[in-house]
Structure 1
């Protein structure tokens, strides 16, 4: 029985794609199902009874780009996880791909270890937020917060904890969060450390990831 994670590569740069295929072949627990040049070819090659677990998807492709392909997968096969591969590190591209349904985003010049980490995270957790991506999302969330476009949803957190988490997802420092919540810096440190323990995370990136995953801030509401 094959318990390996099935992968598909969709990228119109053939040399890059072939190199990536070779790299993935060196990872013990992954199998490459097939490669495609663009979204249109990918859809034509897809077998509904043998879907990939993860699609490594380029953004800029002819005929059908990464955004369109990701939206199509979200609508037709929502269980397939998309890891976006791109040369673009701009905020607009990152936010747009996550809104289209991507569960992770890494740059094409990333180290092989990060690719493996991202794929492992998608397989085990269902998402991958790197520090680079989280930083870009924090900036967009900060802009949306100013426009009143965030919401809050969580079942096991107090109103104060949710307020703190929403502010953590902005560019405010912990001291500025304390000032905004009219609390001492020591009290804010207490909130942070308590949430680290409760949510089983160790960093601010972990807190932001939790807030994104659980709808305390919504990607759909970002500009």
Structure 2
């Protein structure tokens, strides 16, 4: 029987944490079961509370999110962890993914993206924040982070490869259509199929997949 996604938030900024908690408390299918002020509190809390998903800040006093993630996953490999990050913490995001986090969000992510991230990691998908920079995507590809490939034999048509490159270069569906003489709707259909084949949720996921599988070079992203 399905239950609501049990969520814990760890962040030392009380106002941010309370705002996030309030927003998520209004969501069907998500139940906030606890909050922590730092990594040490998070580990303590999860000895008495069962959680499916943890959203944790990277930088916290007493114990940071990366150390806490390693400890939590040693104790419970099934728990899904999302890193909460500032825009300038790319190295820490990579370290967090290498530690076992399933995804990351910038702290200015909107409500829809936060909910999408929670649902994605709960379903055991990797979630890359929409605002992932080309630099961060390249760092992730070069890192030790190597999620299991669910689609081992993905093949793309030449048209799809062309559209993948243009998606990675941040062109909109309309702009892609204008470049390759297709309607916006046709491009959106191709984009949907590309995301399904790659098993990713957004453009950031496309970029990471494309870099990892040599569908685009890092130089082409700049």
TM-score w.r.t. the length of structure 2 is 0.66
1:107-118 matches, within 5 Å, as 107-118=106-117
Q: Deviations over 1:91-146 (max 9, x none)?
A: 2122111111111111112222221121122223432112323634432257x49x
Aligned residues: 187
- Evaluate the alpha carbon distance shift between residue 197 and residue 35 of structure 1 in structure 2; reply closer, same or farther with a 3 A threshold: closer
Matched with 1:184 is none
Contact 1:196-1:202 within 8 A present in 2 as well: no
1:126-137 matches, within 5 Å, as 126-133=125-132, 135-137=134-136
Q: Deviations over 1:63-88 (max 9, x none)?
A: 11011011112222121111111224
Q: For structure 2, which runs of at least 5 residues remain unmatched after alignment? A: 171-189, 215-222
**How well do the aligned residues superpose, as a CA RMSD in angstroms?**
4.1
- Evaluate the alpha carbon distance shift between residue 172 and residue 20 of structure 1 in structure 2; reply closer, same or farther with a 3 A threshold: closer
* 1:156 partnered with 2:153: yes
Matched with 1:14 is 14
1:1-223 matches, within 5 Å, as 3-47=3-47, 50-133=49-132, 135-140=134-139, 144=142, 155-157=152-154, 196=194, 199=197, 205-208=204-207, 210=209
| Separation in 2, partners of 1:33, 1:52 | 7
SS in 1 for 2:28: coil
Q: For structure 1, which runs of at least 5 residues remain unmatched after alignment? A: 174-192, 218-223
TM-score w.r.t. the length of structure 1 is 0.66
